[in-house]
Amino acid sequence: MRKVFFAAFVAVVVLFATSCASVPDPVSEFIRDARRNAPENALLGIGSSTHSNRSLARNAAEARARAEVARQVEAVVSNMMTDYTAGSEAEQRALLQFTENVTRTLAQQTQRGAAIADEAAINGEQIVVVILTSDALKNGIMSASQSAAALAPHMGSAQWALERMDNALATQNGLEPVVRRND
């Protein structure tokens, strides 16, 4: 009797485990599809909100997705600036001014260059995917670099080699996606 009970129990557990595993999480599937369909070396920001007002939920999710793109841009640029300034013999104050100006200009460019790639309402959760293509980011960095050249002309735009940018974007894209569910 115990063997029959134990076998039935194991069968129920296996059936339960496989049935739960076979039901895909629609939010995860949506995010995977967004990543899969994104252009190479694009930065994706994924934001979500469960606000009961659909319009407010969409606005909050979009703002969170844009904030995530801005965070990624800051990480990429910060790493590039650190690499460059570590080997530079320029005055530290000029380097700091240059870095601040580039960062400020990029923040503005990121908001203009990033676009909503996809959105969905799944189980009461509004999800927005914002994308910033590598071309838009490169244009923003070149623009920021040119506008900052007056502050630090010795730095030039050579530091923004496109190969370094592609490597930095590839590294950032290799990380697990972050879904911003709060500010």
Sequential DSSP letters for 76-134:
HHHHHHHHHHHH--S-HHHHHHHHHHHHHHHHHHHHHH-EEEEEEEETTEEEEEEEE-H
Q: Are 166 and 134 in contact (CB under 8 A)?
A: yes
On whether residue 74 sits in a domain, the answer given is yes
**What span, in angstroms and rounded, lies between the C-alpha atoms of 70 and 132?**
9
Residue with the larger pLDDT of the pair 44 and 83: 44
On whether residue 63 sits in a domain, the answer given is yes
Q: Are 120 and 29 in contact (CB under 8 A)?
A: no
The candidate with the shortest Cα–Cα distance to 72, out of 28, 105, 42, 27, is 42
Tokens for 52, please give them: 């009961």
Question: For residue 75, what are the domain limits?
Answer: 25-180
Q: Are 105 and 144 in contact (CB under 8 A)?
A: yes
- The whole-number pLDDT of residue 178 equals 76
Residue with the larger pLDDT of the pair 162 and 137: 137
On whether residue 12 sits in a domain, the answer given is no
On whether residue 163 sits in a domain, the answer given is yes
On whether residue 5 sits in a domain, the answer given is no
Total tally of structural domains belonging to the chain? 1
Q: pLDDT tens digits, residue range 128-160? A: 999 988 888 777 777 666 665 555 554 544 455
- The answer to pTM > 0.85 is no
On whether residue 158 sits in a domain, the answer given is yes
**What span, in angstroms and rounded, lies between the C-alpha atoms of 65 and 123?**
19
Confidence of residue 112 (pLDDT cuts 50, 70, 90): confident
